[in-house]
A = this chain, B = another copy of it.
Amino acid sequence: MLMTTGFTLWFTGLSGAGKTTLATLVERELRARGRKVEVLDGDVVRTHLSKGLGFSREDRDTNIRRIGWVCEVLTRNDVVAIAAAISPFRAVRDEVRERIGRFVEVFVDVPLETAIARDVKGLYKKALAGEIPQFTGVSDPYEPPLDPEVTIRSAEERPEQSVARILAALEALGYLEPARARAAD
């Protein structure tokens, strides 16, 4: 039997930092270990929870509180909730952490220039051209976590290495049993 299994893994960082990529890889690994997992990424959430909200500080905070509430409900029902949202403001992240309790924050730290160079969704180009107002990192602030459980410098290591470090942290924190005799993927 598994131990009590729910917790929230919260990825925060700039657009293009690699949050969703990492979330998806961690999800796959946790499922392979028999855990129930839900990924709540920014796009899913904007569709199902927060349509109509904008990008003012208040609306962003409301968005994060909603994601946090769903994570809380999942966590107390033994599901691993993985949030992948920019979540730029420290205060509301800490509020969500407080409410949930079983909370692991992963700061996906990438230099702004790298995010701009990647620009997977073409959003930075538009933001820098002034076509998207209140774009985090360009025209809106990002407040990095002061004491995250894990920091990933996604410009300096491969996603597989980052995932291994996240899993090691989850094991060290007691949220995950160490994997034994795993087959290579």
Chain B: minimal CB distance from A167 (Å): 21
Please tell me if the beta carbons of A78 and B38 are within 8 angstroms of each other in the complex. Answer: no
Give the residues in chain B near A51, CB-CB below 8 Å.
Answer: 62
A48 contacts partner chain B, Cβ-Cβ < 8 Å: yes
A49 contacts partner chain B, Cβ-Cβ < 8 Å: yes
Chain B: minimal CB distance from A69 (Å): 4
| A interface residues with partner B (beta carbon < 8 Å) | 36, 38, 48-49, 51-52, 62, 65-66, 69-70, 73-74, 77-79
Chain B: minimal CB distance from A58 (Å): 10
Please tell me if the beta carbons of A78 and B36 are within 8 angstroms of each other in the complex. Answer: yes
Give the residues in chain B near A70, CB-CB below 8 Å.
Answer: 70, 73
Chain B: minimal CB distance from A94 (Å): 18
Please tell me if the beta carbons of A49 and B49 are within 8 angstroms of each other in the complex. Answer: yes
Please tell me if the beta carbons of B77 and A65 are within 8 angstroms of each other in the complex. Answer: no
B36, B49, B73: the one within 8 Å of A38 (CB): B73
Give the residues in chain B near A73, CB-CB below 8 Å.
Answer: 38, 70, 74
Chain B: minimal CB distance from A118 (Å): 30
CA A74 – CA B66 in complex, angstroms? 15
Task: List 18 additional contacts besides A49-B69, A51-B62, A70-B70; criterion CB under 8 Å.
Answer: A36-B77, A36-B78, A38-B73, A38-B77, A48-B65, A48-B66, A48-B69, A49-B49, A49-B66, A52-B52, A52-B62, A70-B73, A73-B74, A74-B74, A74-B77, A77-B77, A77-B79, A79-B79
